[in-house]
């Protein structure tokens, strides 16, 4: 049996899986607030005491983590956690423990997703042997590549969310100026993430928010999106519009960088929650607006991942392959 994890800055999913190929079967899944625990080992200890897990014969741990993985260790970007595979293997007496970037983990799920687990924004025409790209906004922004090597899909991690943000028009220049004044450098994640929505909200509101949203509140990203979707505040509407445009543009950038003729997938927790805003056409217009490559981008399939447990599933797929 495998314990898989999707370790995020806000919440973490842990699951017990039976390693049935090609898609491991979930036996038990639990969601934890990441900051409620001192480290991953403490969280795993709580998980394995669950009656649905206790007594299971576990020999493998596989964890996608929101941060760079170097060798056998990782540090989370937004939480002060350090994870060491050797320490975890010794603590739980597992034969194998592996860490991978959270978006790389999600990428392992892409080939086994069913039609009901995705929403198609652009049907396109996937080329056999083409690469695939994955972009996912949540607490932060993650990007991953699925290289097609002689017919075999090989996911790889990136830290593309921390690359420089590129403004494309006057309103985005205003946003970039605000970001650089506060952070010193504007990252893509400063715009395309939950925190990014609040950054945009500050720029689109020169007067008090008509929906009463305080961008410093913990639930501000969801409140801003809800206000915009319900058309309750012009500033919130403008904020979500800018967010969707920037998200589509960065997805298109990633598609060009990876030459993802096999398709582009949009994951993360935000996309399913703002699906009406992503299906207006603005996202795809920004995605394709890359002269002189509009025709090529128009042929790329673009799909939103609806399965909230895709990252966990991908970590289990990776663990099963070990």
Residue 41 pLDDT = 96
Contacting residues for 236 by C-beta, under 8 A, at least 6 apart:
201, 204, 209, 210, 211, 213, 224, 225, 227, 228
Residue with tokens 């009656």: 51
Strand ranges inside the chain, DSSP E: 2-7, 11-18, 25-33, 60-65, 69-70, 73-75, 82-84, 96-101, 118-122, 132-137, 141-149, 152-157, 263-267, 302-305
Mean pLDDT of the residues in the chain: 96
Strand partners, 3: 16, 61
* Residue 322 predicted with pLDDT over 90: no
The tokens for 138 are 């949540």
User: What pLDDT sits at residue 315?
Assistant: 97
Q: How confident is the model at residue 120 (pLDDT cuts 50, 70, 90)?
A: very high
Q: Which domains are assigned to the chain?
A: 2-105+309-321 (3.30.420.40), 114-306 (3.40.367.20)
Taking only the tens place, the pLDDT of each residue in 122-158 is: 999 999 999 999 999 998 899 999 999 998 999 998 9
Cα–Cα separations (whole angstroms), residue 220 to 44, 214, 226, 265: 30, 6, 10, 26
Residue 206 has pLDDT above 90, yes or no: no
The burial of 239, by beta-carbon neighbours within 10 Å (0-12 exposed, 13-18 middle, 19 or more buried), is given as buried
Mean pLDDT computed over 154-165? 94
**Residue 231 pLDDT more than 90?**
yes
Q: Predicted confidence band at 10 (pLDDT cuts at 50, 70, 90)?
A: confident
> What's the confidence (pLDDT) of residue 56?
93
Spatial contact of 179 and 193, defined as CB atoms under 8 Å apart: no
Q: What is the pLDDT of residue 160?
A: 93
pLDDT of 21 higher than 90: no
User: Which tens digit of pLDDT belongs to each residue from 259-305?
Assistant: 999 999 999 999 999 999 999 999 999 999 999 999 999 999 999 99
99 has a pLDDT exceeding 90: yes
Q: Is the pLDDT of residue 78 over 90?
A: no
C-alpha 106/C-alpha 317 separation (Å) is 10
What pLDDT does residue 33 have?
95
Residue 68: pLDDT over 90: no
Position 77 scores a pLDDT of: 82
Contact 82, 271 (CB under 8 A): no
CA distances from 16 to 27, 240, 270, 289 (A): 5, 37, 25, 43
Residue 307 confidence (pLDDT) above 90? yes
Q: Which residues contact 251 (CB under 8 A, 6 or more apart)?
A: 133, 135, 264, 266, 283, 287, 302
Rounded to an integer, the average pLDDT of 294-318 is 97
- The b/e string for 71-81 (b: 16+ C-beta within 10 A; e otherwise) is eeebebbbbeb
In the predicted structure, residue 82 carries a pLDDT above the cut 90: yes
């Amino acid at each position: 049996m495998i314990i898989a994890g999707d370790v995020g800055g806000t919440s973490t999913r842990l699951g017990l899986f039976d390693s049935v190929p090609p898609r491991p079967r979930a036996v038990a899944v639990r969601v934890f607030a990441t900051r409620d625990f001192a480290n991953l080992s403490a969280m795993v200890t709580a998980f394995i005491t669950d009656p649905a897990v206790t007594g299971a014969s576990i020999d493998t741990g596989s964890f996608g983590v929101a941060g760079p993985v170097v060798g056998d260790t990782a540090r989370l970007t937004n939480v002060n956690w350090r994870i060491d595979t050797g320490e975890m293997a010794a603590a739980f007496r597992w034969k194998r423990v592996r860490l991978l970037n959270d978006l790389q983990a999600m990428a392992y799920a892409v080939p086994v997703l069913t039609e009901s687990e995705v929403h198609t924004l652009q049907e396109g025409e996937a080329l056999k042997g083409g690469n695939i790209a994955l972009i996912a906004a949540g607490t932060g922004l993650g990007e991953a590549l699925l290289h097609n090597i002689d017919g075999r899909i090989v996911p790889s991690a990136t830290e593309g969310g921390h690359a420089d943000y590129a403004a494309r028009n006057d309103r985005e220049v205003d946003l970039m100026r605000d970001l650089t004044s506060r952070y010193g450098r504007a990252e893509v994640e400063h715009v395309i993430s939950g925190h990014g929505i609040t950054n945009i909200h500050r720029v689109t509101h020169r007067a008090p928010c008509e929906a009463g949203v305080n961008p410093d509140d913990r639930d501000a990203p969801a409140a801003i999106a809800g206000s915009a979707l319900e058309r309750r505040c012009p500033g919130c509407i403008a904020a979500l519009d800018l967010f969707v445009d920037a998200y589509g543009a960065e997805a298109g950038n990633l598609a060009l960088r990876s030459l993802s003729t096999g398709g582009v997938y949009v994951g993360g927790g935000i996309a399913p929650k703002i699906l009406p805003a992503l299906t207006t056409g603005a996202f795809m217009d920004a995605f394709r607006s890359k002269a002189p490559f509009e025709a090529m981008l128009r042929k790329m399939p673009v799909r939103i991942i609806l399965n909230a447990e895709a990252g966990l599933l991908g970590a289990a797929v990776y663990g099963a392959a070990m």
